[in-house]
C-alpha cells in the first residue's frame, strides 16, 4: 500500500489525525482575513468586465506579423478607448475595443486596416451590444439564487438545517474569494467566467456533503454513549474523509491548472484564463471550506444544543473519573457509575477514541482488554 493510502487507512481508523474542529477559531480567522482582502480588492479595483457586458466591437484579423503590443497601440489610437488584443492560432489577432457604436466601429475597422496593412474586407468585425451582457448577468444571478435555495432545501431535508446553513456559508465564502481574486488579478470577466463560477458550486458542495454524510452516520444515537462529544465525532469525520477530499481535489485541479498556467500562460491562449481561473480558485476554495469552515461551523451550532451540552458534561465527567482511577478514559473499559456500553458505538470504537490518540483496545470490536 502506498504511503498516502496507508495514511488514509490510519486516518479512517482514527489512529492518527489532526484537530481541525478544535482549532476552528484559527481557520475562521484566516477565512475572514482572506474574505476581507477579496472584498477590499473588489471595492478598490473592481471587476474587469468583458466586452460582452460593456458592449463594443471585436475585430478578427487574418494571419499577420504585427505583434500584440503594436496592434494594441494601433487599436487604442484609432478608437480612443482601451483595447485588449489576443493572439489566436495561425498568428491571427483578436482585438476587443469596448464602448463603440456601429459608426465608430466602422471607422476603427478602416483605420486598423491601414495600420495593420490588411485589406478591410479581410478583417472580420463583430458588434456586441451591452444589453446582451446585462441579460446574461441577470440570468446568472437568477440561476445562482435558485441554486442556493434548492441546495439549502435539499440539505435541510437530507441532513438538517444546521448543515444546510453551514454549506450555504461555505458557498458564499468560495464565491466571494473567487470574485475577489478576479478583481485583484485583473483577469477579464466574460460569460466563460460566469459558467466557471456556476460550475464550482457543485464541486464546492461535493466534499462538504461527503463529510456531512460521514458525520450523520457517526452521530446516530450520539446521546446514548459517553465516549465522544459531537465536536470530536465531527473531527473524526473530517479526518476519515480527508485523503479522499485531497485526492479528488488534486485530480480536478490538475487539468484546470494545465488550462490556466500552460494554455493561458505559456501558449498564450488568453481566452482560456477567464474560465480556468474561476475553476482553479473555486476548486481550491471549495476543498478548503469543506474541511475548515463547513464542518467546524456545524459542530459550533450543534454544541449549543442543550442535549449536546449535557453530553459533553457526561463525557468530561467520565474521563475525569477514569483519570482519577489511573485509566485513560478512552480505552473502552466499563463505563463509570455502572453505565453499560452502547452497542451502536462498539463498531465506532474500533476507530480509536479521540482523533490523534490511540486507544489501548484498538482493533477489537468492543475495545475491551482481554
At residue 334, the pLDDT reads 39
Task: Provide the greatest CA pair distance for the chain.
Answer: 95
Q: Using DSSP bridges, classify how beta strands 93-98 and 56-60 pair: parallel, antiparallel or unpaired.
A: antiparallel
pLDDT of residue 16: 62
> pLDDT means per 10 residues in the chain (370 residues)?
57 68 91 92 86 81 85 86 77 82 83 85 79 74 85 90 92 90 85 81 83 89 88 89 83 84 60 78 88 92 91 90 70 39 38 40 43
What is the pTM for the complete model shown?
0.72
The pLDDT assigned to 2 comes to: 55
Per-domain residue ranges of the chain:
3-49+132-302, 56-128
Cα dist from 119 to 108, 114, 280, whole Å: 14, 8, 41
| Confidence (pLDDT) at 300 | 92
CA distance linking residue 7 with residue 300, whole number of Å: 28
- Residue 52 is predicted with a pLDDT of 76
Please state which CATH number belongs to domain 3-49+132-302: 1.20.1640.10
Q: How far apart are CA 160 and CA 356, in angstroms?
A: 28
User: Do residues 283 and 253 lie in contact, with contact meaning Cβ atoms separated by under 8 Å?
Assistant: yes
Helix axes 191-218, 130-158, angle to 10 degrees: 0
State the CATH architecture for 56-128.
Answer: 2-Layer Sandwich (3.30)
Note the pLDDT of residue 296.
Answer: 93
Amino acid at each position: 500500500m502506498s504511503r498516502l493510502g496507508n495514511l488514509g487507512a490510519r486516518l479512517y481508523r482514527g489512529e492518527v489525525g489532526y484537530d481541525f474542529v478544535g482549532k476552528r477559531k484559527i481557520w475562521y480567522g484566516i477565512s475572514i482575513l482572506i474574505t476581507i482582502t477579496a472584498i477590499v480588492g473588489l471595492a478598490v479595483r473592481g471587476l474587469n468586465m468583458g466586452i460582452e457586458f460593456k458592449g463594443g466591437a471585436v475585430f478578427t484579423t487574418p494571419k499577420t506579423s504585427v505583434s500584440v503590443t503594436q496592434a494594441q497601440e494601433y487599436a487604442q489610437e484609432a478608437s480612443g478607448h482601451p483595447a485588449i488584443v489576443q493572439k489566436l492560432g495561425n498568428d491571427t489577432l483578436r482585438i476587443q475595443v469596448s464602448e463603440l457604436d456601429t459608426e465608430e466601429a466602422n471607422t476603427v475597422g478602416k483605420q486598423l486596416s491601414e495600420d495593420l496593412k490588411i485589406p478591410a474586407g479581410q478583417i472580420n468585425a463583430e458588434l456586441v451590444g451591452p444589453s446582451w451582457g446585462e441579460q446574461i448577468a441577470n440570468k446568472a444571478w437568477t440561476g445562482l439564487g435558485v441554486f442556493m435555495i434548492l441546495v439549502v432545501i435539499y440539505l435541510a431535508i437530507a441532513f438538517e438545517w444546521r448543515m444546510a446553513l453551514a454549506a450555504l456559508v461555505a458557498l458564499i465564502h468560495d464565491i466571494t474569494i473567487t470574485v475577489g481574486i478576479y478583481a485583484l488579478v485583473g483577469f477579464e470577466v466574460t460569460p466563460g467566467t460566469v459558467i466557471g463560477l456556476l460550475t464550482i458550486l457543485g464541486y464546492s458542495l461535493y466534499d462538504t456533503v461527503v463529510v456531512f454524510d460521514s458525520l450523520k452516520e457517526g452521530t446516530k444515537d450520539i446521546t446514548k454513549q459517553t465516549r465522544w462529544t459531537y465536536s470530536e465525532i465531527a473531527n473524526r469525520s473530517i479526518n476519515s474523509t480527508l485523503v479522499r477530499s485531497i485526492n479528488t481535489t488534486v485530480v480536478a485541479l490538475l487539468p484546470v491548472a494545465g488550462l490556466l498556467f500552460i494554455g493561458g500562460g505559456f501558449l498564450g491562449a488568453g481566452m482560456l484564463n477567464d474560465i480556468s481561473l474561476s475553476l482553479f480558485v473555486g476548486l481550491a476554495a471549495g476543498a478548503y471550506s469543506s474541511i475548515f469552515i463547513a464542518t467546524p461551523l456545524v459542530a459550533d451550532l450543534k454544541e449549543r444544543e442543550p442535549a449536546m451540552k449535557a453530553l459533553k458534561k457526561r463525557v468530561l465527567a467520565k474521563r475525569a473519573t477514569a483519570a482519577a482511577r489511573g485509566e485513560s478514559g478512552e480505552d473502552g473499559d466499563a463505563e463509570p457509575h455502572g453505565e453499560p456500553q452502547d452497542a451502536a458505538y462498539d463498531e465506532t470504537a474500533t476507530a480509536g477514541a479521540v482523533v490523534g490518540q490511540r486507544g489501548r483496545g484498538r482493533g477489537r470490536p468492543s475495545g475491551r482488554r482481554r
